[in-house]
Amino acid sequence: MKQRINLLITFSVIALIVLSTVQCYLVKTTYDYKVAQFHTQIKNEIAKISNNYSDIDSALVSKKEALYKKLSEQYIQGKNSKIDIKNGILENESQSSLTQEIQRKFERDLPNFKIDFAIVLNKFILYKNTKKADTIFSEKPFIQNKLYGNLASLNHAFLVRSYVGTTNGTFENQDYKLLTEDSMYVSVIDWEMIILRRMAFVLVLSLLSILTLITLFVIALKALIKQKKVSDVKTDFINNITHELKTPLATLSISTKILEQKNIRDNDENFNTIVNTISRQNNRLQSLIDQVMANSLAENEIELQKEKIETEDFLQTIVNDFKITYPKIDIKTHFQTQKTTLVLDKFHLTTALLNVLENAVKYGSNKIIIKTKQIENQFSISIEDNGIGISKNNQSLLFEKFYRVEQGNLHNTKGLGLGLYYVDQIIKAHQGSVNVISDLGKGTEFTILLKV
């Protein structure tokens, strides 16, 4: 059974990992699709605003083209180097004005997005006589080649569009052609949050599906472990009840055979002894059967016959009877209360308390102290012994039906594992509670709390 559980756990974990991986892949694919869709939307929106820069500020664009022409002609004359042309373009006086114009247009036409942009110059190529190309510079998009905009880096920006411009001119009877290329990059502030908001339904659905799978796995695992535990308890109970029944049945069998002998039947003393033995073993069998049947009831099914009793006297009577049964046990009382009247079922509560006391004797105790005190509106009965104690791991299982601690199974202590379960059910039926404090080798203390 344990091997089957381990195998099931292994396969379940593998299945969860595979399903989680598939879910993550689907979410990642959806995310990439949403990002591409978002970029396309921004490109289309910006395309509606402007196909070039002349419709934003034609005067500034004219100044830019005039600057390009001036620098080209100076280069043809040999007055400017390539570096001078590049610096002249990137440091032109219209940068700030056109940046502000484009930014205002974005804010006006795309109010739902906060956009930063940069327009960078990629190429500046001069064709002399319209045939021979003289490349002033041709570079990959670098933020250092920024013409307009406020972006400080292109790392998280995406390309919206590239604009190629051509200018034809004649200088000193020499025809030339100027080709320029610049690209616009934009960065939408908090674009990740925009994508996540658009993916909210997918994310929530994926998360819920994974959590549902994990929850079902945990529930199934708990049910399987509980089933194994019930199976183990059932096996343990059958072994214990078989052991308990063997002794009286064997005694009854032997006694019956003895009675078959004529000399025994003719001897009144021997005959009565055998009959008494049969009677005792019969009572023991009946007691075992009654114990199993009584403990099959839950606390809400137990019918209590409550009456007013003086609790201290009631406890003292139990102690006196216990001393007669176990004369070698040193049992003492320390009552901090006097004449406390409670409404209780004497029969069931007597049986419950005797179960606790007998358990103490079973597990090695030779000294027991019973204490009472009142805690606010509760009456406390504590039973402390000096037995072998109970490990922390076993304490949470003490009051479960048919459960017996390992020490009891390993040693000669007999029982069905019903005593403490019965105690718990009876105390709960009285709307009370029972707790245990114990350490291995240091004894055990049971505390019963009843409403005053």
CA angle at residue 350 from 346 to 356, to 5 degrees? Answer: 150
Residue 178: HSE in the Cβ half-sphere, 13 Å Cα cutoff: 22
With b for 16 or more beta-carbon neighbours within 10 A and e for fewer, the 297-336 pattern comes to eeeeebebeeeebebbebbeebbeebeeebeebebeeeee
Percent of the chain beyond pLDDT 70? 82
pLDDT in tens, 229-264: 777 766 666 666 665 666 667 777 887 888 778 777
| Amino acid residing at 105 | K
pLDDT at 410: 39
The overall pTM is greater than 0.75: no
Pick the CATH number of 301-451 from 3.10.20.30, 3.30.565.10, 3.40.50.300, 3.40.50.360: 3.30.565.10
Q: Tally the residues of the chain.
A: 452
For the ranges 114-123, 124-133, 220-229, the maximum mean pLDDT occurs at 114-123
**Residue type at 262 in one-letter notation:** K
Query: What pLDDT is stored for residue 273 in this prediction?
Result: 79
Q: In the numeric block, which tokens belong to residue 92?
A: 């032109």
pLDDT attached to residue 55: 58
Give dist(CA 145, CA 25) in Å, integer.
38
Q: Where are the domains of the chain?
A: 53-189, 301-451
**CA neighbours within 13 Å on the CB side: how many for 418?**
21
pLDDT in tens, 148-178: 888 888 888 888 888 888 878 777 777 788 8
pLDDT-derived band at 135, boundaries 50, 70, 90: confident
CA distance 89 to 197: 41
Lowest-confidence segment of 51-60, 232-241, 425-434 by average pLDDT? 51-60
Single-letter code of the amino acid located at 119 = I
Name the residue type at position 115. I
Q: Residue range 393-404: average pLDDT?
A: 66
Residue 367's pLDDT is 92
Mean pLDDT of 407-424: 58
How far apart, in Å, are the Cα atoms of 380 and each of 151, 357, 445? 76, 16, 12
Residue with the larger pLDDT of the pair 359 and 433? 433
| Higher-scoring residue by pLDDT: 349, 173 | 349
The tens digit of pLDDT for each residue in 58-72 reads: 666 677 778 888 888
